[in-house]
């Protein structure tokens, strides 16, 4: 396991994004299927972005949403500075999961927000939104990009993650994540 150093997420993301841009630029040369290659590269980058989160402990979740013994939890974490369409897409996924598993299955957590009623109106989300006023979760995750969906096991370790971004192919990744939510909940 590689040691995590504060700030490496940003540098790694910038490096991988730059590498992806270079690959995307040159993959079109003499290639009859450049779009498929670009989508494959984006998919690989997205997988790398979530793999480093898996297995990490997220102890601060208990202090925000309360401790639940022996239960897996699904968290949706978003930040005041996230793009509005990304936040909206995240809440659409939350509502999709809640409509299948029951209201309140996904715990929505706002980071760096003082007031969330406007977000609730904008997204038509009627559930409770927890507020992480001290930005503890993002600090613990070394400021991983948000918004994100996380599945935590009963000991607050991340089992799976999905980052909302603007890349193509996210629909398939989100569908796989949602299926994973339900397959994991059957084992708890």
Give the distance between the most distant pair of CA atoms in the chain: 57
CA separation for the pair 62, 173 (Å, rounded): 27
The arrangement of strands across the sheet holding 129-132 comes to 129-132, 106-111, 73-79, 148-152, 158-163
Per-residue pLDDT reduced to its tens digit, 55-97:
999 999 988 998 877 778 999 999 988 999 999 999 999 999 9
Under the banding of pLDDT at 50, 70 and 90, the label for residue 187 is very low
Residues in the chain: 188
Per-residue pLDDT reduced to its tens digit, 6-57:
555 567 677 667 766 666 666 555 556 556 666 566 555 556 678 888 999 9
Question: What number does CATH give the domain 60-186?
Answer: 3.40.30.10
Which pTM does this prediction carry?
A: 0.72
Residue ranges per domain, the chain?
8-51, 60-186
């Amino acid at each position: 396991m590689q040691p995590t150093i504060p700030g490496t997420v940003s540098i790694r993301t910038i490096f991988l994004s730059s590498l992806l841009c270079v690959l995307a630029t040159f993959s079109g040369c003499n290639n009859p299927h450049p779009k498929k290659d670009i989508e494959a590269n984006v998919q690989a980058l997205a997988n790398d972005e979530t793999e480093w989160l898996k297995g990490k402990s997220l102890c601060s979740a208990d202090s925000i949403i309360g401790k639940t013994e022996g239960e897996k939890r699904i968290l949706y974490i978003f930040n005041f500075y996230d793009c509005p369409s990304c936040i909206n897409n995240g809440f659409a996924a939350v509502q999709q999961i809640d409509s299948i598993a029951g209201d309140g299955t996904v715990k929505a957590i706002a980071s760096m927000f003082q007031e969330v009623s406007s977000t609730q109106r904008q997204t038509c989300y009627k559930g409770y939104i927890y507020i992480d006023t001290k930005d503890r979760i993002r600090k613990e995750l070394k400021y991983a990009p948000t918004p994100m969906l996380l599945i935590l096991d009963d000991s607050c370790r991340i089992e799976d993650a999905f980052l909302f971004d603007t890349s193509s192919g996210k629909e398939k990744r989100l569908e796989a994540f949602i299926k994973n939510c339900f397959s994991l909940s059957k084992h708890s």
